[in-house]
C-alpha cells in the first residue's frame, strides 16, 4: 500500500477516535465528578504512555531532568486543561462544550505570534472575528436548552487558552514525544491525586464510569496522538492530512445524537461551521 494511502488511514482512524471522546466525557461525568474522572483517565493514559515509551527505541533513558522539565507541562496538561474542560462538559450539553473548545487553533495562532514575536497580521484578526460570531451563535441557545451555564461557556473557551499555552511549551520541548508525554501525564496524575486528597473528593467506583474514563485515557489522551503523528510522518501532503481534523467535531455530533440522545440543534452546527470557517480563513489569508 502506498505511503499516502496509509497516511490517510492513520489520519482518519485518529479523527474517528477523537470524534467519540465528547460522548465518553458525558458518560463518565454521569458517574463521577470531573476531578475523579480526570484521575482515572490520566492514570490509565500514564500506563499506556509508559508502554509506548518503553518500546520506543529512539527514546532516551529517564532522568531527574525529565521530571523537572515535565513539571510545568504536566501542570497544564493533563491537570489544569482537562480539569477545566471536564467541568465545562459537566455544566453544558456536549454539543455546546465541544465546538466552544474547538476555538483553540485561533487562540494558538495568536499566542504563537506573541511568543515567537511574529506580527499579528490582518488574516488572524479576520479569522478570530469570524470564529467569534460562531461562538456567539452557539452560546445564545437558551431557547433550545434553557439557560446555559455562563461558567460552563467561560470554562469551555478558557480551555482553548490553556491548551494553547501547553502546546507552545510542547513545541519548545525537544525531547521525544513518547518520553515527554509519559512524564507529563505521570506528573499530571500525581497533581490530580494530590488535588483529590486536598479537596476531599470521595473515591467512587462505577464500572460504566471507570470503563469510560479508561477509554478517554487511551483514545483522547494516549494512543490517538501517536496515530496522528504516524499519519503526518507518512504523508507527502501534510496540509491535506491536517485539514482532516476538521471532520472530527461533525462526526462527534453523530455520536452525541446517537448515544447521548441529544437533539442536535441547527445553531450548534452553524456555529461550529462558522468557527471552522474562521480558522480556515486565517490559514488561507496567511498563505
Q: Give me the pLDDT at residue 143, please.
A: 54
SS3 percent helix, strand, coil of the chain, rounded to 5, is: 80, 0, 20
pLDDT tens per residue, range 14-37? 999 999 999 999 999 999 999 999
pLDDT tens per residue, range 112-162? 777 777 777 777 788 888 888 888 888 877 556 667 899 999 999 999 999
Share of the chain above pLDDT 90, in %: 54
* pLDDT value at 223 more than 80: yes
Dig out the grid coordinates for 255 from the structure: 455520536
Our count of domains for the chain comes to: 1
Q: Give me the pLDDT at residue 140, please.
A: 79
Where is pLDDT greater, at 104 or 37?
37
Q: Give me the pLDDT at residue 127, please.
A: 81
Residue 184's domain comprises 3-286
* Alpha-carbon distances of 151 from 48, 75, 89, 95, 180, rounded to whole Å: 33, 22, 11, 16, 32
Q: Give me the pLDDT at residue 77, please.
A: 94
Out of 45-49, 104-108, 167-171, give the one with best mean pLDDT: 45-49
8 A C-beta contact, residue 255 and residue 22:
yes
pLDDT, mean over the chain: 89
Q: Exposed (0-12), middle (13-18) or buried (19+): which is 72, by Cβ within 10 Å?
A: middle
221: which DSSP letter? T
pLDDT tens per residue, range 183-203? 999 999 999 999 999 999 989
Amino acid at each position: 500500500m502506498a505511503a499516502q494511502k496509509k497516511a490517510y488511514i492513520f489520519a482518519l482512524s485518529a479523527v474517528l477516535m477523537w470524534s467519540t471522546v465528547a460522548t465518553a466525557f458525558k458518560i463518565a461525568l454521569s458517574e463521577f465528578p470531573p476531578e475523579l474522572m480526570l484521575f482515572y483517565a490520566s492514570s490509565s493514559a500514564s500506563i499506556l504512555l509508559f508502554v509506548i515509551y518503553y518500546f520506543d527505541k529512539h527514546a532516551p533513558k529517564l532522568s531527574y531532568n525529565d521530571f523537572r522539565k515535565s513539571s510545568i507541562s504536566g501542570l497544564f496538561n493533563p491537570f489544569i486543561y482537562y480539569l477545566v474542560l471536564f467541568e465545562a462538559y459537566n455544566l453544558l450539553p456536549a454539543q455546546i462544550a465541544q465546538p466552544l473548545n474547538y476555538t483553540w487553533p485561533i487562540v494558538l495562532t495568536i499566542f504563537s505570534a506573541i511568543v515567537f514575536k511574529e506580527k499579528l497580521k490582518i488574516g488572524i484578526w479576520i479569522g478570530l472575528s469570524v470564529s467569534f460570531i460562531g461562538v456567539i451563535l452557539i452560546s445564545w441557545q437558551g431557547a433550545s436548552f434553557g439557560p446555559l451555564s455562563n461558567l460552563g461557556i467561560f470554562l469551555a473557551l478558557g480551555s482553548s487558552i490553556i491548551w494553547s499555552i501547553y502546546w507552545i511549551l510542547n513545541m519548545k520541548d525537544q525531547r521525544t514525544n513518547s518520553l515527554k508525554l509519559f512524564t507529563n501525564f505521570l506528573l499530571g496524575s500525581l497533581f490530580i491525586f494530590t488535588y483529590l486528597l486536598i479537596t476531599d473528593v470521595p473515591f467512587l467506583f462505577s464500572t460504566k464510569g471507570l470503563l469510560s474514563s479508561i477509554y478517554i485515557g487511551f483514545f483522547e489522551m494516549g494512543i490517538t496522538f501517536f496515530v496522528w503523528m504516524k499519519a503526518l510522518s507518512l504523508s507527502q501532503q501534510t496540509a491535506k492530512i491536517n485539514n482532516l481534523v476538521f471532520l472530527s467535531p461533525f462526526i462527534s455530533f453523530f455520536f452525541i445524537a446517537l448515544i447521548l440522545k441529544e437533539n442536535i440543534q441547527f445553531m450548534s452546527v452553524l456555529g461550529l461551521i462558522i468557527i471552522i470557517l474562521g480558522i480556515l480563513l486565517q490559514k488561507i489569508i496567511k498563505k
